[in-house]
Amino acid sequence: CGVFGVWAPNRDVSRITYFALRALQHRGQDSAGIAVGNGKTVLVRKDMGLVTEVFKDEDLQAMQGKVAIGHCRYGTAGAKGWESSQPHLSAINDVIIALAHNGTLVNFDELRRELIDAGVPFRSSTDSEVAARLIGYFTHATSHLRSGIRKTMQMIEGGYAMVLIRENALYAFRDPHGIRPLVLGKLDEGEWVVASETCALDIVGATFVREVRPGEIIRISDDGLISEEGLPPRQTAKCIFEDVYFSRPDSVQDGKSFYKVRHDMGAQLAREAPADVDLVISVPDSGTPAAEGFAAELGLPYGTGLVKNRYVARTFIAPTQSLREMGVRLKLTPLADVVAGKRILMVDDSIVRGTTSKQIVRMMRDAGATEVHMRSASPEVVWPCFYGIDTADQNELISANKSVEEIREYIGADSLAFLSVKGLMSCVPKTGYCRACFTGEYPVAISEKYWGDHFL
């Protein structure tokens, strides 16, 4: 998911949030929502669909205020209906709060049951509502929102980046491992924004200040910005799939754009698994930076061999395998003029189920390519993610079930290689990453129940 928050009493905060959400749209297309605090109360508008489908000019006009948050959802926990859309509104006595969340809480089932036993009502089955209800519950006991957030952070486990407003304040907080991303930016003196990625700062004209620290709680109000420790930071474990696939290429982390990281990954992959081919092509758009890096490293020609239809929804999350296959054909079409009679090498950012690779290798051969080689700019995805990226159950992950040679045969390629984990780590600017989907070393323990559901 994508989250955003803005404190700017003299600006059109709902419109700022709308533009930021459009920059974060790639992080979730299921639903979109904005909540605004106007000094007296909190208003929310949210619905299923893209940001541009949910908000018209009149909607934004009707949501004037001094503080706002926004969310675009990519469902990982809970059903996909309207009730799961965010921000979540809840009342604590006569104070209304709205919460938006990116991530997944691994222990939300247990917490939800305990709250229900304590008489707390629920509208959805999401982990995000559990967080909102917990904050309400603990704030109620202490009548202090920040201590309610801190108590909640002591209870919840997993990867999370959350933004929250009440009528006259903005809060932002991040899990103690820093698994999910959250950055702080500045619009003008006394005007602050927080966002999942720096691309949202760029679009609203904010400058990057720093990351929200793992375990930190930030509060912004008429009293200015206050930072406090919600939980002591643990071993930093930023999600490396943000580098591989999820973040927009123009976003920057630790001083390096994800475009540059991916370009370096492609170059590293070329050193690890070169090939003698006539043309390197990418699987657009997510494979493009790595494909460019691959071709540049070997001095090979690079071209466009696949055209992407920008108006097709994502194939990755289609409910059934046959729909996913149909989705790939709608989304990617081969350029026979470019690939016919050539030895082609295709670079994608990742191979997860193998659906995309199998289809496009066939397309290349049908279009007349004489050889088709496949490269994945990420290592083999062997383990499911529990912290907010929907990489399927283990039985659907092709690398958990087949060797590289078996996958090569399955997708019908002349050769196949994946970037090594070590090679991947040499391309990111710092250490301190979660890479559990490649290595199985989970920074936050996964309960027995999950093991049963999601593992082979």
- Interacting residues with ligand SF4 (CB under 6 A): 159, 179, 239-241, 385, 387, 389, 391, 434-437
Q: Is 282 one of the annotated binding-site residues?
A: no
Is 1 annotated in the active site? yes
**In the complex, least distance from residue 317 CB atom to ligand 5GP, rounded to whole angstroms:** 6
x/- site string to Mg ion, residues 279 to 298, per CB under 5 A? -------x------------
Query: What residue is closest to Mg ion based on CB?
Result: 286
Q: Is 286 one of the annotated binding-site residues?
A: yes
Residue 128's H or E segment, with its range, is helix 127-142
By the 8 A CB rule, do 281 and 364 touch? no
Q: Identify which of residues 135 and 436 has a Cβ nearer to ligand SF4 in the complex.
A: 436
Q: For residues 15 and 21, what is the distance between their CA atoms, to the nearest angstrom?
A: 10
315 interacts with Mg ion by CB under 5 A = no
Looking at 57-65, 224-232, 355-363, 443-451, which segment touches ligand 5GP (CB under 6 A)?
355-363
Tell me if residue 378 falls in helix, strand or coil.
Answer: coil
Tell me if residue 313 falls in helix, strand or coil.
Answer: coil
Q: Is 239 one of the annotated binding-site residues?
A: yes
For residue 86, the number of C-alpha atoms closer than 13 Å in the C-beta half-sphere is 38
242 interacts with ligand 5GP by CB under 6 A = no
**In the complex, least distance from residue 159 CB atom to ligand SF4, rounded to whole angstroms:** 6
Q: For residues 16 and 68, what is the distance between their CA atoms, to the nearest angstrom?
A: 9
350 interacts with ligand 5GP by CB under 6 A = yes
**In the complex, least distance from residue 357 CB atom to ligand 5GP, rounded to whole angstroms:** 6
x/- site string to ligand 5GP, residues 370 to 389, per CB under 6 A? -------------------x
Interaction residues for ligand 5GP, span 263-322 (CB under 6 A): 283, 286, 314, 316-317
Q: Is 199 one of the annotated binding-site residues?
A: no
**In the complex, least distance from residue 360 CB atom to ligand 5GP, rounded to whole angstroms:** 9
Compute CA distances 103 → 76, 98, 196, 314, 378, whole Å. 8, 17, 11, 19, 21
Q: For residues 116 and 121, what is the distance between their CA atoms, to the nearest angstrom?
A: 6
Tell me if residue 401 falls in helix, strand or coil.
Answer: helix
**In the complex, least distance from residue 382 CB atom to ligand SF4, rounded to whole angstroms:** 10
Q: What is the DSSP string of 12-59?
A: -HHHHHHHHHHHTGGG--SEEEEEEE-SS-EEEEEEES-HHHH--HHH
Q: Residue 444: which of ligand SF4, ligand 5GP, Mg ion, none does it interact with, CB under 5 to 8 A by kind?
A: none
By the 8 A CB rule, do 214 and 34 touch? no
Q: For residues 205 and 8, what is the distance between their CA atoms, to the nearest angstrom?
A: 13
Cβ atoms < 10 Å from Cβ of 237:
23
433 interacts with ligand 5GP by CB under 6 A = no
Choice from 28, 87, 158, 354 touching ligand 5GP (CB under 6 A): 354
Q: Is 232 exposed, middle or buried (0-12, 13-18, 19+ CB in 10 A)?
A: exposed
Q: Residue 245: which of ligand SF4, ligand 5GP, Mg ion, none does it interact with, CB under 5 to 8 A by kind?
A: ligand 5GP
Q: For residues 213 and 417, what is the distance between their CA atoms, to the nearest angstrom?
A: 36
Q: Residue 418: which of ligand SF4, Mg ion, ligand 5GP, none does it interact with, CB under 5 to 8 A by kind?
A: none
By the 8 A CB rule, do 392 and 364 touch? no
424 interacts with ligand 5GP by CB under 6 A = no
Identify whether 87 is preceded by a cis peptide bond (ω within 30 of 0): yes
Instruction: Please identify which of the residues 1, 72, 199, 427 carries the catalytic annotation.
Output: 1
Q: Residue 434: which of ligand SF4, Mg ion, ligand 5GP, none does it interact with, CB under 5 to 8 A by kind?
A: ligand SF4
Q: For residues 259 and 247, what is the distance between their CA atoms, to the nearest angstrom?
A: 9
**In the complex, least distance from residue 104 CB atom to ligand 5GP, rounded to whole angstroms:** 13
Q: Which amino acid is residue 139, in one-letter code? A: T
**In the complex, least distance from residue 352 CB atom to ligand SF4, rounded to whole angstroms:** 11
Residue ranges of the binding site? 239, 286, 348-349, 385, 434, 437
Please identify every residue annotated as catalytic: 1
Residue ranges of the binding site for Mg(2+)? 286, 348-349
Sites of contact with ligand 5GP (CB under 6 A): 245, 283, 286, 314, 316-317, 348-357, 389-391
